[in-house]
Amino acid sequence: MWQTVLIPGYKYSNLNAVIRLKANIIKIVFTVILIPVIVCPQSIVNTKHNLSVSGSGSIKAESETEICVFCHTPHNSSPQKPLWNREDPALNYNLYSSSTTDATIAQPDGSSLLCLSCHDGTIALGNVLSRTLPIPMAGGITTLPPGNSNLTKDISDDHPVSFVYNPTLAGIDGQLNNPAILTGPVKLENQKVQCISCHDPHTDLFNKFLTATNQQSELCNYCHDRTYWNSSNHKLSSSTWNGMGSDPWPHTEFTTVAENACENCHNPHTANGKLRLMNLQQEEINCLNCHNGNVAEQNIETQFTKPYKHNVSGYLQIHDPEEPNVVQTRHVECEDCHNPHASNNQSATPPYVSGMLAGVKGVNTNGNDLNPSQYEYEICYRCHADSPDKPPSPTIRQIEQNNVRYEFDMGNPSFHPVESAGVNPNVPSLIPPYTTSSIIYCSDCHASDGTNSPKGSHGSIYPQILKLQYLTTDYTPESAAVYALCYSCHSREVIINSTGSFGNNVHRRHIVWENTPCNICHDPHGISSMQGNTTNNTHLINYNTAVVQPDNLGRLRFEDNGTFRGRCYLTCHGEVHSPRSY
């Protein structure tokens, strides 16, 4: 209870003045009591940086009771601020480097060098300037033991420090926030990013002494502003780990993809994949840790165990984000087709890229670089068009062409409708919803086999990563199964029984009676206008010369004589067509 006490010599005009005085005293008392709770809810005393005997961590002194002495001293301190009580490491560090770094990264300086006086593991924890002898540590520990806290002299696997972060750098990079307007807990030291930009050594409110929570990568996003990120699945997905296999997030306490955000793939300290601080050195494992059915719904990992696949495990450290759009050295990694900062669930119709392929660079129909690709085929053209190291064609053709950009060109005499609708207005075999106006994706044919398999050309039991069977071996008995790929768009009934398509049951005669595969006469991609023409190469006619030979006069050609009419000059299965008209 409050008791009114009049202060001698103080003139009170009335009782209200006394009441107001009491109220002000109450405010002062409550302010004094509450401010420490709100502003300073934790001190270094309760953190691992309390290396005194009273410390809560496993690393602490045998008997030393002073807390601040391990870093600071009021007298005879180092010239380094603030009253530093340790020697500088004075070492040359192995620095972070990558092709995607625009900053100039130099040897550590400023406060980062102070942090490294403990955290590089070279100077004993108890070595302080204010003591003639090192402070003994419990358990005989001298330097920081091996582990995540001991960064060693090799800091190439850690987020870089001691580099200038200014508006110029932000402008060059294009995906950094302008530090001139940077607000929040991240602070620069003399325009440089230092350890204390992300870590507060005196308080540990957010674990690892972070200056802000990194849940949903809040701390990362103060500086980084990745293009496409805000609509990315890796920012938004609520998927969790099902507990099977390895923990995909061993260095965080977060439990969903959205909460881990950047740390789904990246580790800011002691990263196994030094280039771009990836969690693991093998590029694809950073993806497959989640895309193995244990976090993401679809199991992509199993697709890469199939005999025909984009062999992501066959290459290591060849892919580079800064490599040319046209791939010079053959390789494939997940990020050649997928941008992890952009991938989302947005659907699309051919030929436009779906959300899963968003933000990926490519090559357009004219061979020009694009970033990002607008159409799916532009991503495929990076490796399968002008690349000097592209995979060879599996079939020996009368007209050899291994550049799919030329095969699908819209000016060709014939082509499967990948870039645009086809040129043939009469295709009675098409199954709805396909029409002669339809456009298809490369991945409508080249995709993982199986009805419940994930979309995309990851892996298949069929050659050329085809989603359905398409046998090309001569003398193959016809069935719905052996040409399932063709029959998924073209009616088997119309192809082998109708007289309205390439008249007089010619398809039936070749496919059923002669056991001649579709591939013997038809080139499934298309025939380049630079090599073929509308007289000899309509309807994807481009003979497999391992089977089809010239006639007895040396002629090897097809002639288009109008709708559903034509003639051939060739020898096949010992039968001479010189010519054979249809």
What pLDDT, on the 0 to 100 scale, is given for residue 197? 97
Confidence label for 501 from pLDDT (cuts 50, 70 and 90): low
User: Which pairs from 244-247 meet CB under 8 Å and 24+ separation?
Assistant: 244/293, 244/294, 245/292, 245/294, 246/289
What pLDDT, on the 0 to 100 scale, is given for residue 77? 86
Q: Is cis: bond before 351, omega within 30 of 0?
A: yes
CA atoms within a 13 Å half-sphere pointing along the CA-CB vector of 113: 24
What pLDDT, on the 0 to 100 scale, is given for residue 552? 96
Q: Is residue 169 within a helix (H) or strand (E), and if so which, with residue range?
A: helix 167-173
pLDDT higher than 50, residue 11: no
What pLDDT, on the 0 to 100 scale, is given for residue 5? 38
Query: How far is it, in rounded angstroms, from Cα 112 to Cα 278?
Result: 22
Both tokens of residue 551? 């006639």
Question: Could you read off the pLDDT of 535-574 as tens digits, one per residue?
Answer: 999 999 999 999 999 999 999 999 999 998 999 999 999 9
What is the share, in percent, of the chain residues with pLDDT greater than 70?
92
Strands 566-572 and 414-415: unpaired
Domain spans of the chain, in order of start: 1-36, 392-535
pLDDT higher than 60, residue 21: no
Confidence label for 279 from pLDDT (cuts 50, 70 and 90): very high
Closest CA to 194 of 108, 82, 131: 108
Confidence label for 500 from pLDDT (cuts 50, 70 and 90): low
Query: How far is it, in rounded angstroms, from Cα 575 to Cα 474?
Result: 15
Q: What is the DSSP string of 217-270?
A: GHHHHHHB--TTGGG-HHHH---B--S-SS-S-TT----BHHHHGGGGTB-SSS
Confidence label for 182 from pLDDT (cuts 50, 70 and 90): confident
pTM of the model: 0.89
What pLDDT, on the 0 to 100 scale, is given for residue 18? 37
What pLDDT, on the 0 to 100 scale, is given for residue 15? 38
Query: How far is it, in rounded angstroms, from Cα 70 to Cα 82?
Result: 13
In this structure, the chain runs to a length of 582
Of 162-166, 309-313, 322-326, 504-508, which gets the smallest average pLDDT?
504-508
What pLDDT, on the 0 to 100 scale, is given for residue 505? 81
pLDDT higher than 90, residue 64: yes
Q: How far apart are the first and last CA of the chain?
A: 113
Q: Are the C-beta atoms of residues 300 and 316 closer than 8 Å to each other? A: no
Query: How far is it, in rounded angstroms, from Cα 68 to Cα 480?
Result: 80
| Distances from the Cα of 460 to the Cα of 27, 243, 304, 515, 523, angstroms | 74, 28, 8, 25, 21
**Per-residue pLDDT averaged across 229-254, rounded?**
97
Question: Could you read off the pLDDT of 135-170 as tens digits, one per residue?
Answer: 999 999 999 999 999 999 999 999 999 999 999 999
Give the Cβ contact number of residue 43 at 10 Å.
12
**Per-residue pLDDT averaged across 259-263, rounded?**
98
SS3 helix, strand, coil % of the chain, rounded to 5? 25, 10, 65
Per the prediction, the chain carries an average pLDDT of 92
Question: Could you read off the pLDDT of 23-47 as tens digits, one per residue?
Answer: 443 343 333 333 333 444 578 999 9
What pLDDT, on the 0 to 100 scale, is given for residue 497? 86
**Per-residue pLDDT averaged across 47-53, rounded?**
97
What pLDDT, on the 0 to 100 scale, is given for residue 498? 73
**Per-residue pLDDT averaged across 160-188, rounded?**
94
**Per-residue pLDDT averaged across 253-270, rounded?**
98
Question: Could you read off the pLDDT of 188-218 as tens digits, one per residue?
Answer: 999 999 999 999 999 999 999 999 999 999 9
CA atoms within a 13 Å half-sphere pointing along the CA-CB vector of 413: 20
Read off the DSSP letter of residue 417. S
Closest CA to 224 of 68, 100, 372: 100
Q: Are the C-beta atoms of residues 338 and 234 closer than 8 Å to each other? A: no
